[in-house]
Structure 1
Amino acid sequence: MSSFDQLIAFERETQALGQIAGRLGWDQETMMPRGAAPQRGEEMAALEGVLHARRSDPRVAEWLESAEATDEAGAAQLREIRRSYERAVKVPGDLASTIARVTSEAQGKWAEARANEDVTAFLPVLKEVVALKRQEGQALAAGGNLYDAMVADYEQGTTSAEIAEIFDAMRPELVDLRARVLEKPLPQGLTGRYSDAAQMELARRIAVAFGYNLAHGRLDKAVHPFSSGSGLDVRITTRTNESDPFNCIYSTIHEVGHAAYEQNVDKAHLLTALGRGVSMGVHESQSRIYENQIGRSRAFTGWLFRQMVESFGDIGVATEEAFYAAVNRVQNGYIRTESDELQYNLHIMLRFDLERALMLGDLQVEDLETAWNDRFLADFGYAVDKPSHGCLQDVHWSVGLFGYFPTYSLGNVYAGCLNEALRRDVPKLDAQLAEGDTSAATGWLRDNLQQFGGLREPKETITHAAGRTPDHKPLMSYLNAKFSDIYGL
């Protein structure tokens, strides 16, 4: 075997082990007995130790030195394996294993603290996670910007300064549009109760309508919706609220966007470094365009209205147009995942600034709740009423995902560019969406972006699909046009 072939064979086994680690994480969120958390932490730490040893194996460096690629995919494989290796050798193996163990345990402690509205119970383990992630960040940064090194884990090729520049450009427009919308009467919302079973049945129908292949996936419930896996086994979760079926519906569509990306990567890349989404920002572009530009469009909500009436009977709104307005209501709220498109990015900007301050040492864990509450009041104009609506609402920090949050808004920016191109290339899209047929939209995304997996760098992936260098202008044009129309601005 050539050096290239040996490297790819070794990488394939590493990727398979990574999938097993992901399945353990899925099980912990969905099926695992609560009392198993300490043992699961040890299991995750042991597996992470094996993975770290493989990713930093000296043979990888030797193979990379002599391996020669014969095509674009081979060159991309070497690029991604080299990036993984260079990262792995900077982080001590015992630190990687400790982070895996502590974050696995912290996840359960976060869920319990959230349920009990008890920030104090969560702070000790969060402090431990933050300290460990700072150590990791310092190792990765090698004297550079610690937080930039963390962002690179999720959106390679983008710095926190670039993100801040985008956010600073968007924030004034978002605040102004939000203020004008909130001056208008609030559209009628849904009324009644919606059984968990009926919501889950509808969620499965919607998932299939968006192209999710249940022969290679499954839909379960979790505290915090997520997608897990790649290739032939891609699983999603959602959650239900008997007074708010939109929570379940749009969480499902969002996670289907992630899952469809993974399911649609060219099978030639299965269990390779190219066999999954290239970055979290690009990943989020898929979940957000599925959820928002497609799922919350006037055309698709007309079909969804008929499905809702069929499933639940009287839902409190009588027409498709009133339902469209209900889906896109802009109102005060605390929860990022339940936020409307207009206010969502303000939630992300808050988290971006706080987690960057935590990592750089400008904010201490003991002061996080106060800092969160103060910033929320300043940005949204009303006070946080309980911790599960504040700094305990998201799972991310408990599992060490620092640098992840800004990719949500980058995903929105990317989705704006993709939607502009999609609408240009598929001019009759709305007529199909009105019948619940998303195939033209999802097929365009599959052919222009999803099938390539990690073949190209993130910004290049979007540029290739959208035909333009990504920036925030298409997103802001879309938001201004949509909400000006709904609210008569």
Structure 2
Amino acid sequence: MTNTFADLMAHQRETEALASIAGRLGWDQETMMPRGATKMRAEESAALEGVLHARRTDPRIGDWLAVANAPDDAGQRALDLIARSYNRNTKIPARLAAELARLTSLAQGIWAEARATETPADFLPTLQEVVALKREEAACLSTGDLYDALLDDYEPGMTGAEISAMFDAMRPRLVALREAVLAAEAPPALDHVFPENAQLRLAKICATAFGYDWTRGRLDMAVHPFSSGSGNDVRITTRISETDPFNCIYSTIHEVGHACYEQGIDQDYLFTPMGAGVSMGVHESQSRIYENQLGRSAAFTGWLHGRMVEMFGDFAVNDRQVFHAIVNRVSNGFIRTESDELSYNLHVMLRFDLERDLVAGRLEVADLEEAWNTRFASDFGQRPTLPSQGFLQDVHWSVGLFGYFPTYSLGNLYAGCLNKAMRAQVSGVDDALAQGNAAPATDWLREGLQRHGGLRDPRATIEAACGFAPTADPLLDYLEEKFKAIYAL
């Protein structure tokens, strides 16, 4: 008589390995693949997705789940996650899964070209097809709110209504603080050329300072920075502007947060359902706390200032307190990934509302650019003058990631809670950061959160690490204390 649990886990192990290969194809497409290979890669992605869908919907999984007995709590969690995946995937036709993989692979290249040439008309027909397929997918998964069905892929258990209520609660304090800061005297902007090669060397130094394991990772360039992979092969990307070194430095630290979460997961969970981050909200909590509460702290920017002087020479900022203010400068920019901590969540709220309307059919793709520009003008007081400043700036919709955007702000909320708990429990965090050593903070995160991977549900993961239920107050309190001090409010 065979061991049913062992048979199911062996099947899952091969599925996870194939999914890892699919992820590597995506990494290659954004970093190394020649432009002429786009259509070929789309067919490869569709073929592999077909194999994965067949494995995830294999009728034997249902049979195994019906009789399998887990040996321990981790085994039971694995069964629960496999059952969740099986129930969702069996509702999606193989044709739809393959077509989504094929189209989104093509759409990514079309988006990148349209963004580079500022020609949104070249992308809109493809985006219309993506939206139609995502609506079809959502209809397969749910008889209720279509957006909730897509959101559940990235933040299990969360609903659009809950996200909307969270944003409504956060917005007044965010807007009031941002308006007060923008009315105050701003720190100067950098006015210097920072050579690309030196920026990349400094980015690697920062990645090392935050614990990125180079024996299991690498750093490459991409149009839109991202982290890819899990376990023992976790790769990050960044981008460089020679007049804005913070773009490279903090994009790198942000992606290192994602990567260290994956590298820190218990090796026993490798190629199991627990072997990756439990949700994108929890994932973003790691990238955002690395980037902001740690990386943009006065302690760490003091150390960073010294490294930049060594690397770039005199760049006309000699005071470390002024440098800290420059790193945290609040401005009315167009680009989410370059925005300050006060503006960032407003960018996300805009995207959340628009994509929710797209999925529901309240907004058509043909009207998206104008809807974006009008909303942006309402929230930020200015209209984008280029599509790359507006709805073409992010890769997410081209690759079908509807439901992903709100997890960025949820991650900020979680990061605020983790920062409060960490600083109450760990002494000497700032003293170490001032020496370019993030280990006291990152060790606490690894032990309390990262190593557990997908063992617990998202909210339970945060509660277990913090010792209290997540709310927006720690994040908002942190922002008010920080920016009132910087801007002397």
Question: Does TM, scored on the shorter chain, surpass 0.5?
Answer: yes
Query: What amino acid is the match of 1:207?
Result: A
Residue equivalent to 1:61: 62
Structure 1 residue 100: Cα displacement: 0.2
Partner deviation per Cα, 1:64-107 (whole Å, 9 max, x = no partner):
11111121110110111011101100000010000000000000
Q: Which runs of 4+ in 1 moved over 6 A?
A: none
- Find the residue that maps to 1:220 and give its secondary structure: strand
Instruction: Tell me, in whole angstroms, the C-alpha distance in 2 between the residues paired with 1:333 and 1:348.
Output: 14
Instruction: Tell me, in whole angstroms, the C-alpha distance in 2 between the residues paired with 1:385 and 1:435.
Output: 42
Residue equivalent to 1:342: 342
Instruction: Tell me, in whole angstroms, the C-alpha distance in 2 between the residues paired with 1:336 and 1:314.
Output: 29
- Find the residue that maps to 1:318 and give its secondary structure: coil
Residue equivalent to 1:356: 356
Residue equivalent to 1:245: 245
Structure 1 residue 225: Cα displacement: 0.2
Residue equivalent to 2:424: 424
Residue equivalent to 2:53: 52
Residue equivalent to 2:12: 11
Q: Residue 352 of structure 1 contacts residue 405 of structure 1 at CA under 8 Å; is this kept in 2?
A: yes
Instruction: Tell me, in whole angstroms, the C-alpha distance in 2 between the residues paired with 1:33 and 1:454.
Output: 35
Q: Which runs of 5+ in 2 are unaligned?
A: none
- Find the residue that maps to 2:153 and give its secondary structure: coil
Residue equivalent to 1:99: 100
Q: Residue 155 of structure 1 contacts residue 281 of structure 1 at CA under 8 Å; is this kept in 2?
A: yes
Residue equivalent to 1:411: 411
Q: Residue 16 of structure 1 contacts residue 271 of structure 1 at CA under 8 Å; is this kept in 2?
A: yes
Structure 1 residue 188: Cα displacement: 1.5
Structure 1 residue 191: Cα displacement: 1.8
Q: Residue 126 of structure 1 contacts residue 398 of structure 1 at CA under 8 Å; is this kept in 2?
A: yes
Q: CA RMSD in A?
A: 0.6
Instruction: Tell me, in whole angstroms, the C-alpha distance in 1 between the residues paired with 2:298 and 2:151.
Output: 35
- Find the residue that maps to 2:234 and give its secondary structure: strand
Partner deviation per Cα, 1:260-293 (whole Å, 9 max, x = no partner):
0000000000011000100000000000000000
- Find the residue that maps to 1:218 and give its secondary structure: strand
Partner deviation per Cα, 1:15-53 (whole Å, 9 max, x = no partner):
000000000000000000001000000000000000000
Q: Residue 345 of structure 2 contacts residue 409 of structure 2 at CA under 8 Å; is this kept in 1?
A: yes
Residue equivalent to 1:386: 386
Instruction: Tell me, in whole angstroms, the C-alpha distance in 1 between the residues paired with 2:404 and 2:334.
Output: 20
Query: What amino acid is the match of 2:18?
Result: L
Structure 1 residue 427: Cα displacement: 2.8
Structure 1 residue 316: Cα displacement: 2.4
Structure 1 residue 190: Cα displacement: 1.7
Quick check: 1:149 aligned with 2:159? no
Instruction: Tell me, in whole angstroms, the C-alpha distance in 1 between the residues paired with 2:428 and 2:242.
Output: 36
Instruction: Tell me, in whole angstroms, the C-alpha distance in 2 between the residues paired with 1:319 and 1:70.
Output: 59
Instruction: Tell me, in whole angstroms, the C-alpha distance in 1 between the residues paired with 2:149 and 2:3.
Output: 33
Structure 1 residue 385: Cα displacement: 1.3
- Find the residue that maps to 1:332 and give its secondary structure: coil
Quick check: 1:78 aligned with 2:92? no
Residue equivalent to 1:204: 204
Residue equivalent to 2:304: 304
Structure 1 residue 319: Cα displacement: 1.3
Instruction: Tell me, in whole angstroms, the C-alpha distance in 2 between the residues paired with 1:331 and 1:456.
Output: 38
Structure 1 residue 56: Cα displacement: 0.5
Query: What amino acid is the match of 1:68?
Result: N
- TM-score of the superposition, structure 1-length normalised? 0.99
Residue equivalent to 1:461: 461
- Find the residue that maps to 2:300 and give its secondary structure: helix
Q: Residue 428 of structure 2 contacts residue 440 of structure 2 at CA under 8 Å; is this kept in 1?
A: no
Q: Residue 189 of structure 1 contacts residue 316 of structure 1 at CA under 8 Å; is this kept in 2?
A: no
Q: Which runs of 5+ in 1 are unaligned?
A: none
Residue equivalent to 1:118: 119
Query: What amino acid is the match of 2:104?
Result: T
Q: Residue 254 of structure 2 contacts residue 290 of structure 2 at CA under 8 Å; is this kept in 1?
A: yes
- TM-score of the superposition, structure 2-length normalised? 0.99
Instruction: Tell me, in whole angstroms, the C-alpha distance in 1 between the residues paired with 2:126 and 2:160.
Output: 26
Instruction: Tell me, in whole angstroms, the C-alpha distance in 1 between the residues paired with 2:240 and 2:69.
Output: 51
Query: What amino acid is the match of 1:140?
Result: L
Query: Counterparts of 1:218-257 in structure 2 under 5 Å?
Result: 218-257=218-257
- Find the residue that maps to 1:106 and give its secondary structure: helix
